[in-house]
């Protein structure tokens, strides 16, 4: 079967290792698969405005994510890259889905509850409705494979519920959607290893962090009690997370890293890990610099990509509107 792939990331700051290992690495593998018919990767800037953001830097933040995508290895010849707000068919389909989605499907979602706890003042319709727009992002291209981190599973389930409900009300239109989870599906914070790595402070390593910054952050990363460097996410969440990062970036098996550091100190392990991370990110950072120096190329590529996305999206929207008696 041929696959149509869609995924997106909010422009809430520079991308970090968690985004790369939990999402983009997976996307790069998918773009090269022979059964991938079409892959679309978005900066979901309409999702980004459901939580606090700065209008002065927002446009640049969206562009930063596009630059990170390209530098990480997403190939514009193979995939479409786009800014969600530039393809208005997404929000149009989201409105239609709003009319068939019970509020009770949304207000019980863990992602909504968590966000509300973080920014209680932002209890608006957009935050509640976030997953409906995500369902529209996916279904507007009739995508069937969605590479995301495991935290997004409730949203994928909801997408399927909405698709099923639409089909039952207006006739078979959407096929089921599958999440595609990466091996490094959950990279944890360096400071609080029971929480996932995010963009705040020393919590995470940005893909664009300089080697010195990387060394500093890894040096400051919390460790567990007991000196052994062993993989045990239950009892030793901090060192297990560091071992996972090492494994995913160096390609060495976790067992062999454990053996390498048997009887050695945390500080030795950490300083070697910092070099693994810095070496891994070096080519990425070089490519990013080249792209930054050629922004017309990046902007032209985006516009062309968005035009193609609009065409595909409009086809689905026309079909949906016809089925509903709107066209
Ligand atoms: P976000 O930055 O929350 O918009 O997430 C963008 C993508 O990266 C989603 O597919 C997330 O599941 C994934 N992601 C974000 N943080 C992590 C993390 N710490 N570990 C693994 N994947 C993550
Ligand atoms: N909700 C996703 C996140 O927080 C971002 C997102 C929006 C997305 N629309 C999407 C992911 C469509 C995959 C497909 O990470």
Instruction: Report whether pLDDT(1) > 90.
Output: no
pLDDT of residue 291: 97
Give bridge partners of residue 314 from the DSSP assignment: none
Q: Check pLDDT > 90 for residue 198.
A: no
Res 199: pLDDT: 74
Residue 206 has pLDDT above 70, yes or no: yes
Query: With bands split at pLDDT 50, 70 and 90, how would you rate the model's confidence at 183?
Result: low
Whole-angstrom distance, CA of residue 312 vs CA of residue 326: 19
- Is 153:14 a contact under the CB 8 Å cutoff? no
Q: How far apart are CA 74 and CA 68, in angstroms?
A: 9
Whether 202 has a pLDDT exceeding 90, the answer reads no
Closest by Cα among 70, 90, 71, 87 to 79: 70
Q: Residues lining ligand 1, judged by CB closer than 6 Å?
A: 9-10, 18-19, 22-23, 148-149, 151-152, 185-187, 196-197
User: What is the pLDDT confidence band of residue 122, given thresholds at 50, 70 and 90?
Assistant: confident
By C-alpha distance, which of 232, 146, 136, 242 is closest to 187?
A: 242
Inter-residue contact 275 to 261 (CB < 8 Å): no
Residue 116 contacts residue 141 (beta carbons within 8 Å): no
Averaged over 295-316, what is the pLDDT?
Answer: 98
| Residues 37-61: tens digit of each pLDDT | 999 999 999 999 998 899 999 999 9
Domains of the chain: 3-185+295-324 (3.40.50.620), 211-290 (1.10.240.10)
72 lines ligand 2 (CB under 6 A): no
Tell me the β-bridge partners of 236.
232
Q: At 164, which helix (H) or strand (E)?
A: helix 153-170
How many Cα neighbours within 13 Å face the side chain of 239? 22
Mutation choice for ligand 2 from 4, 49, 94, 134, CB with most ligand atoms inside 8 A:
134
Return d(Cα 149, Cα 15) in angstroms, integer: 14
Mean pLDDT score, 321-327: 98
pLDDT, average across residues 89-110: 97
Is the distance from the beta carbon of residue 4 to the nearest atom of ligand 2 less than 6 Å?
no
DSSP assignment, residue 187? P
Lowest mean pLDDT segment, chosen from 143-152, 261-270, 316-325: 143-152
End-to-end CA distance of the chain: 31
152 lines ligand 2 (CB under 6 A): yes
When pLDDT is averaged across residues 153-182 and rounded to a whole number, the result is 96
- Overall pTM > 0.85: yes
CB 140 within 8 A of CB 93: yes
Instruction: Give the HSE-up count for residue 112: Cα atoms under 13 Å, Cβ half-sphere.
Output: 20
Averaged over 75-85, what is the pLDDT? 97
Q: Is the CB of 8 under 6 A from ligand 2?
A: yes
CA 40 to chain centre: 13
Q: What is the residue-averaged pLDDT of the chain? A: 94
Based on its alpha-carbon atoms, the radius of gyration of the chain, rounded to whole angstroms, reads 21
Closest-CA residue to 159 (of 179, 171, 177, 184): 177
CA of 301 relative to ligand 2 center, distance in Å: 22
Specify the pLDDT at position 185: 59
Residue 4: predicted pLDDT: 97
25 alpha carbon, closest ligand: 1
């Amino acid at each position: 079967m041929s696959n149509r792939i869609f995924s997106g990331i909010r422009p809430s700051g520079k991308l970090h290792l968690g985004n790369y290992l939990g999402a983009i690495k997976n996307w790069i593998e998918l773009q090269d698969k022979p059964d991938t018919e079409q892959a679309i990767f978005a900066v979901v800037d309409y999702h980004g405005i459901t939580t606090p953001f700065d209008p002065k830097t927002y446009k640049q933040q969206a562009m930063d994510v596009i630059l990170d995508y390209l530098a990480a290895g997403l190939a514009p010849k193979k995939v479409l890259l786009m800014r969600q707000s530039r393809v208005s068919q997404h929000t149009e389909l989201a409105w239609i889905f709003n009319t068939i989605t019970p509020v009770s499907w949304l207000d019980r979602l863990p992602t909504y509850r968590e966000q509300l706890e973080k920014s209680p003042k932002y209890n608006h319709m957009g935050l509640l409705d976030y997953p409906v727009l995500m369902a529209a992002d996916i279904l507007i291209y009739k995508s069937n494979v969605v590479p995301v981190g495991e935290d997004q599973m409730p949203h994928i389930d909801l997408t399927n519920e909405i698709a099923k409900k639409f089909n039952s009300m207006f006739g078979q239109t959407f096929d089921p959607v599958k999440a595609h989870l990466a091996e490094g599906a959950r990279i944890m914070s360096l400071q609080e290893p029971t929480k996932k790595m995010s963009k705040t402070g020393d919590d995470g390593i940005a893909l664009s962090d300089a080697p010195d910054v990387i060394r500093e952050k890894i040096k400051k990363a919390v460790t567990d009690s007991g000196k052994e460097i062993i993989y045990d996410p239950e009892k030793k969440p901090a060192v297990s997370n560091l071992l996972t990062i090492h494994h995913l970036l160096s390609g060495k098996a976790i067992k062999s890293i454990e053996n390498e550091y048997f009887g050695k100190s945390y500080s030795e392990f950490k300083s070697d890990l910092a070099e693994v991370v810095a070496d891994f990110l070096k080519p990425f950072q070089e490519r990013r610099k080249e792209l930054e120096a050629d922004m017309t190329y990046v902007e032209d590529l985006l516009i062309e990509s968005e035009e193609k996305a609009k065409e595909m999206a409009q086809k689905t929207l026309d079909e949906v509107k016809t089925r509903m008696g709107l066209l």
